[in-house]
Amino acid sequence: MLKSRHWILLLGYTLSGLISLSYEVLWARMLSLQFGVSIFGVVVTVTAFMLGLGLGSLAGTKLLSRCSRPLYLFAWLEAAIAVYALLLPLIFRSSDGWLTLLAADAGVGLWLTLQALALLVLMLLPALAMGLAFPLILRSLNHVAGSLPLLYGLNAVGGAIGALLPLLLLPNVGWTLSVRLTAMLGLFVAVLVMWQARIFDRRFNTGTDGNRVGAGGHGVAVDTLQWPALYCYGGIGAAALMLEIGWTRLFGMVMLRTEYVLAVILAVFLLGIGSGSLLARYLHGSRWLMILPCCAALFAAVTLWALVPVSAWIEQAQFASLLSALLAQGGVLMVVTLPVTIVFGAWLPLLARQASGAGPDHVAAGARLYGVNSVGAALGSLLAGFVLVPWLGTTSMMVVAVVLLFACGLYWAPQRRIAWFILPVLLILWPVRDFPPVAELLPQTQAGSDDIYRYEDAVSITHVVEQTSGQRLLLSDLQRMDASSDPDAVTLQQNQARLPLLLHGHPGSVLFLGLGTGITASGSLPFDGIERTAVELSQGAITAAADWFADVNGHVLDSMRVIHHDGRQYLRSSRQSFDVIIGDVFHPDMAGRSALLSVQQFQRARARLQDNGWFVQWLALNQFDIDALRVVIRSFQQVFPHMRVFVDGFRLALAGSNNPEADADGAAGQAQIMQRLLHSLGADQARRATGGEGVWTWLGRYWGRPVVGDGVVQNEWSPQIEFSLPLARYRGDIDVARLMDWLLQQRPSPQQAAKELGVANNDYRDFERAYIGSGLALRSWLARLQGHQAEANRLIRFAYQANPHDRWAGLTLADDMLATLPQALQRGMDQRQALQAIIDVRPDHIEALRALWHLAEQRGDQVAAQTYLQRLHRLSPLDREARDRVH
């Protein structure tokens, strides 16, 4: 019967599980600095913890015969782990430095391997101590009937709570303080257990209170486990972690792709383990060992069927807050995976009971089973992440895991004929063995699309999907990378290269941090003699750019060097410097990605710039609230004090130079630099170099230097925006209209802007028209977002009149004209003339050209029809309708 002192000890071990999983999530946060949100980081984290827990538990079974005060040792281990956790931030920083030096010339494979090995060692040490704790605490409560399922279950439930604890701590106190608070709780547990050790260890050594002192007075039972049984239970552990890796990749891909995902998945997994272990106290009879493998295999197979409906539901679901999204998505994940994890939790107590008989002496059996299961889990994690996923794909890997799970579970089945149960399981698995089409996973945004390419490795899943229009998208883990072959998107991406190269004036080399589709890099093609380099971590993206987007990126990969590596590590280790470095757009609220907007990243970029070099970081306005944008700008200003801001459509460019004279004099002379560059090019080159918009349009997009005041910056070791942005998104604070209004208030006057850019007096009128035009276009978009359509139409007409060369103003006006075409026809206007009026505004307007093509065919004017068709195909080479007709 459990007494009050037993409950105190159980509370201590429950808190120990809570603390252990809090550490795991917090340390995984540090891994995201190296690997970002990828299965690679998850595999390293899980492998280190499971291997440590397993080896520690196995070592603990050997230690028991020589340990007379197990609770004292347990308490000291908890204290040691807490101290280690307090020191680990310093160890992480120092290891990051010497690993960078060690892997200075290493490729991405060796770099990731070195990082993984180093971090595996760093996390293995505390995990070993955590694993030692299980046999120690189990031995101290050996006299209590049913202590193994109770301890194992409560520790797992505590772990589920601990996995969620960082979700509360990280956004409010940051990573460093979260670690310290968790370590303080660990020291409290050490003191609590030390206090109880005075009672339990004395009773244990005197044999009172029901303790049975075994051979040599140590109370250690001899279990009947044979190595085949241990191997099979290790196989079950491997299968369990293979399934967890699969669930993390598949469901994490469609759930919130933020710092919060890993914690939610771990919590759900551990809640099932704990519930199953507690339930096992009431399960008796060998028949359960026959039922468990059947249930586990069946329920695991069902989880694969759940992926498509869960993904479709998440895509269309509306959540009032981040908390409601986490609860709803975590709840769905629990419904899907809980039946499997409950079985996993029940297996250990049932096997330990069978191995040691009905008596209470199950310390050695439980510890050995726990140990081999955890070691097997670590091996399964490695096998899944680094072998089976790249080889077979995630869904097929999970099919292998289900078969392994069932085969290993059959070892204890009293009736072997149950093996036939695998046939219906395989029938269930066969239709879902392949990765589901993107159109099924995202039925709203990708309805009707076709998967034309998929690549899986330990970093990400890369898709190229072709939409019904024929345009292609590059998706990384189903996340839109803003990498589309749509003509407007192509221009937007190419502009990311045009602006930095124009700012430099005479670029000889350019580095692209991220290749994507290669379309951004294609914006540099009009500039002769440039040495182009791109760093891309995703091999799938590199292949896609070469094979599936060559028609829209101008085959740019034929004239550039592509390095398969992590961008941050390349900047740290490379000895090469560049005239221009371009940071592409990405999702800043995803774990690890925000490090690309940190002070450290900006410092690394500046260190790789040539004299007079420029670094430009692009930001998508629809991904930020005002506070987060201020943090990023403030971080950039800390490295480039005289930075400049440009606005191109709905994207913001933070531009900084390492030229000391530019820092001292501001942007004086920038207009002359850009003019000299364009004069050195041929007329056609100059047109293509500016996207046909001219030098004054680009200078007119200058936005000065926003005043952001003092405050926090984005620091890799004290991150801000990846925690604040998900909260802001669900609060409704990510409001493009509000952000545009703030930017308009920050913009300097035309006279002040002309002075800062060094515009000559005789050029001022051209600059002023372009500058006012870009401001009016932004005001028009703001009015449109606020629902003031008439005002938006009026402002865009003025913007076009001020600067007809501005693509975005002309395109918006042309779109408005096309939208009002039915009304114009009702007023008696000729359709061809109306469409031609749109083309006069924007000669590259795709839908107007398409309509003119069809109209010419209807009228039998084949010459005009061919002319329009060829123009349409040239502007949009992947347009399905035009492509089919041309070919």
Q: State whether 130 and 35 are in the same domain.
A: yes
What does the pLDDT average to over 545-557? 96
Predicted pLDDT at 592 = 65
- 448 inside domain: no
- In this prediction, residue 801 carries a pLDDT of 97
Confidence of residue 213 (pLDDT cuts 50, 70, 90): very low
Residue 753 has pLDDT above 80, yes or no: yes
If we measure between CA atoms, which residue out of 43, 176, 58, 54 comes closest to residue 119? 43
CATH code of the domain covering residue 870: 1.25.40
Helix, strand, or coil (residue 509): strand
Q: Give me the pLDDT at residue 60, please.
A: 85
What CA–CA distances, in Å, run from 95 to 122, 348, 592? 9, 37, 18
886 confidence band (pLDDT: 50, 70, 90): confident
What was the pLDDT predicted at 97?
63
Confidence of residue 214 (pLDDT cuts 50, 70, 90): very low
pLDDT classification of 578: cutoffs 50, 70, 90? very high
pLDDT at 233 over 90: yes
Name the pLDDT band for 111 (thresholds 50, 70, 90): low
pTM, entire model: 0.89
CB-CB contact of 187 with 82 (8 Å): yes
Containing domain of residue 505, as a range? 488-666+702-749
Share of the chain above pLDDT 70, in %: 89
Pull the structure tokens for residue 751.
Answer: 């006279």
Contact 256, 726 (CB under 8 A): yes
On whether both 506 and 418 belong to a single domain, the answer is no
- Clarify whether residues 142 and 29 are in a common domain: yes
Q: What pLDDT, on the 0 to 100 scale, is given for residue 352?
A: 84
- Average pLDDT, integer, range 171-183: 82
| Strand pairing report for 609-620 and 651-657 | antiparallel
Q: Are residues 876 and 769 in the same domain?
A: no
Position 469 scores a pLDDT of 94
Note the pLDDT of residue 589.
Answer: 75
The CATH number assigned to the domain holding 230 equals: 1.20.1250.20
Burial group, residue 83, by CB count within 10 angstroms (0-12, 13-18, 19+): middle
pLDDT tens sequence across 315-335 = 888 888 878 888 888 889 889
pLDDT at 218: 40
d(CA 187, CA 183): 6
Residues 887, 231: Cα–Cα separation, whole Å: 60
Residue showing tokens 């540099």: 524
Residue type, 197: A
Domain boundary among 792, 817, 842: 817
Q: How far is Cα 468 from Cα 837, in angstroms, rounded to an integer?
A: 28
User: Which of 155, 142, 143, 139 is CA-nearest to residue 60?
Assistant: 139
User: Phi and psi at residue 885, in whole multiples of 5°?
Assistant: -75, -35
pLDDT > 90: percent of the chain: 57
Mark whether 847 and 736 lie in a shared domain: no
Better pLDDT: 31 or 542:
542
Could you say which DSSP state residue 552 is in?
Answer: T
Task: Out of 93-107, 483-497, 648-662, give the one with best mean pLDDT.
Answer: 483-497
Give the whole-angstrom CA distance, residue 405 versus residue 237: 8
Segment 347-369 shows an average pLDDT of: 74
Nearest-CA neighbor of 138 among 123, 154, 128, 152? 152
Q: Is the pLDDT reported for residue 762 higher than 60?
A: yes
Does 725 share its domain with 856? no
Q: Count other Cβ atoms within 10 Å, centred on residue 705.
A: 17
DSSP 319-387: -SSHHHHHHHHHHHHHHHHHHHHHHHHHHHHHHHHHHHTTSS--HHHHHHHHHHHHHHHHHHHHHIIII
Does some domain include residue 185? yes
Cβ atoms 281, 346 nearer than 8 A:
no
CATH number, domain of 625, equals: 3.40.50.150
pLDDT band at 289 (very low <50, low <70, confident <90, very high): confident
Of 416, 432, 448, which marks where a domain is finished?
Answer: 432
In a domain, 187, yes or no: yes
Domain contains 446: no
Query: Could you tell me if 397 and 331 lie in one domain?
Result: yes
pLDDT average, residue stretch 105-113: 67
Residue 460 domain flag: no
Q: For position 751, what pLDDT does the model report? A: 96
Query: Which of the two residues, 609 and 219, has the higher pLDDT score?
Result: 609
588: nearest Cα among 538, 528, 524, 632: 632
The answer as to whether 478 is a domain residue is no
Tell whether 673 and 738 lie within a shared domain.
Answer: no
Sheet holding 472-476, edge to edge: 450-456, 461-466, 472-476, 479-484
Residue 509: pLDDT band with limits 50, 70, 90: very high
Amino acid identity, position 574: S
> Confidence band (pLDDT; 50, 70, 90) for 435?
very high
- Cα–Cα nearest to 518, from 477, 472, 458: 472
Per-residue CA distances from 539 to 382, 461, 520, 554 (Å): 20, 10, 17, 20
Predicted local distance difference test score (pLDDT) of residue 721: 86
Average pLDDT value for the chain: 87
Q: Are 585 and 596 in contact (CB under 8 A)?
A: no
- What is the average pLDDT across 65-88? 86
Strand (E) positions, 385-478?
450-456, 461-466, 472-476
Please tell me which residue, 25 or 653, carries the higher pLDDT value.
653
Name the most confidently modeled range: 172-186, 265-279, 543-557, 590-604: 543-557
At 646 the three-state DSSP class reads strand
Q: Residue 383's pLDDT band (boundaries 50, 70, 90)?
A: very high
Instruction: Tell me: pLDDT of 665 over 60.
Output: no
Query: How is the beta sheet containing 578-583 ordered, strand by strand?
Result: 560-564, 531-536, 509-513, 578-583, 609-620, 651-657, 644-648
Kindly tell me if the per-residue pLDDT of 379 is higher than 90. yes
Q: Are residues 809 and 856 in the same domain?
A: no
Kindly state the average pLDDT of the residues 709-723: 84
User: Do residues 139 and 244 both lie within one domain?
Assistant: yes
Clarify whether residues 647 and 789 are in a common domain. Answer: no
The answer to whether 348 touches 412, Cβ cutoff 8 Å, is no
- Is 635 among the domain residues? yes
Please, what sign has the CA dihedral across residues 499, 505, 510, 513?
Answer: negative
Q: Are 306 and 353 within one domain?
A: yes
Q: Is residue 49 scored above 60 in pLDDT?
A: yes
267 vs 199 pLDDT, higher one: 267
Residue 455 lies in a domain: no
Would you report the helix, strand and coil content of the chain in percent, each value rounded to 5? 70, 10, 25
pLDDT of residue 211: 45
Instruction: Say what the pLDDT of residue 188 is.
Output: 93
Domain total of the chain? 4
